[in-house]
Amino acid sequence: MPSLDTTTLCIEKLVDKFEYEFEQPLLEEMCSVGKIKSFNEGEIIMDTGDVLTHMPLVLSGSVKVMTEDSDGGELLLYYLEFGDTCAMTLSCCTKPSKSNVKAISESNAEIIFLPVQKMEEWMIKYHS
């Protein structure tokens, strides 16, 4: 469980960025169960085959999401920026599963990772 200081800083950060998108109690829950991580440019955030237990929500920076083509080369799917989450993760967000994409930090980035098992609960509990 995050420390009070970490949770308070998280809430302040999320309120600053998402106060018009998400309700305050939801932001508080996101901070109580989520984990904010920073990534340097070029750092792998998620690799093909990783078990998806958390949904990423980009707080800053840019993330490149790719998959492999039939020849084993990288095929760009899309970029994620502030406020974006990975559509590939959302498609399986009610239970952990293996990733079929690779995500690399295109610039220095900050991401909060939210447990996938909370998504369905929050969709029912909160309007935002």
Asked whether the beta carbons of 53 and 99 are under 8 A apart, the reply is no
Residue 66: the pLDDT is 94
Domains of the chain (ranges, CATH numbers): 1-33 (no CATH), 35-117 (2.60.120.10)
Please give the Cα distance from 45 to 68 (Å, whole number): 16
Estimate to the nearest angstrom the gap between the alpha carbon of 74 and the chain centroid.
21
Q: What is the pLDDT of residues 49-106, one digit of tens each?
A: 898 888 899 999 999 999 988 888 889 999 999 988 876 665 555 566 788 889 999 9
Q: Report the 3 state secondary structure along the chain.
A: CCCHHHHHHHHHHHHHHHCCCCCHHHHHHHHHHCEEEEECCCCEEECCCCEECEEEEEEECCEEEEEECCCCCEEEEEEECCCCECHHHHCCCCCCEECCCEEEECCCEEEEEEEHHHHHHHHHHCCC
Q: Give percent of the chain with pLDDT exceeding 70.
A: 89
Entry pTM = 0.85
CB neighbour class for 114 (10 Å; exposed up to 12, middle 13-18, buried from 19): buried
Please give the Cα distance from 65 to 86 (Å, whole number): 8
Q: What is the pLDDT of residues 26-64, one digit of tens each?
A: 999 999 999 999 999 999 999 998 988 888 999 999 999
